[in-house]
Amino acid sequence: MADKPTHRSGAPWRNMYGRTKGNKLRASQQEWLAEDLADLSVGAVGWEINPERQQFEIKKLLGDRPLWLEVGFGGGEHLVHQAEGNPNVGFIGCEPYINGVAMLLGKIRKLNQDNIRIHPGDVRDLFDVLPEASVERTFLLYPDPKHEFTWRCKGAQDWREPWGDWISTRYEQKALREGRVPHYLTFERI
C-alpha cells in the first residue's frame, strides 16, 4: 500500500473546498486582522508552527468555561449571537476564509465580553491539537457532518423549525432567496 500524500509541512494531505480569500479587504478589515487576530487566535494549530501536534490548554485560553465550537462561521453572525447569549461559555470559531475572519473581528470589537477565540484555518488541524472530549457543543452550519452522529429527531417539527436561540445568517437568507428550504438538525455524537 502506498503512503498517503502529505503537505510540505508534514501534515496529512487534506483537500480544501471553497475559497480562503475573496474580494479585496477594506482598510478597516485589514486593520482588524493586523491589530486583533493575534490576541484572539487559539495559538499554535498549524502544522508549520506545531509539527509535533502538541495539544493546547483550553483553560489558558478560555478559563473554566465549557467549550463550544463553530465550524465555518462565515461572517460570524451566529457565533457572535451565541457568544452574547451565553457569556459563561467559551467559543472557538474556525474559518479558513480570511474575509469572514475579518468580518468577525469587526463584530467582536463591538462586544463587551471576551469569550470568543478564532482559528483562521481548517478545523481539521484544530482537531489534532484539541484535548479529547473537550468540546461540549459544536455548530456546523451549511453543511452538516452525518458521520458517527445520531440524529435527535422525534418528529417533523424537530427539523422544520429553528432552535429557540437561532439567528438567521446571511447564508440562510441566501438559501431562502434561492428557494431552498433549510433544515434544522440536531446531532449527538455516538
For cell 509539527, the residue is 51
Distances in Å between the Cα of 134 and the Cα atoms of 151, 158, 187 are: 21, 27, 17
CA distance 120 to 98: 7
Respond yes or no on whether the N-terminal peptide bond of residue 143 is cis (omega within 30° of 0).
yes
Q: Provide the residue type at 153 as one letter.
A: C
Whether residue 144 lies in the annotated active site:
yes
Catalytic residue from among 3, 144, 158, 165: 144
Concatenated DSSP letters of 45-84:
-STTT-TT-PPP-HHHHHTTPPEEEEES-TTSHHHHHHHH
- Catalytic residue set: 144
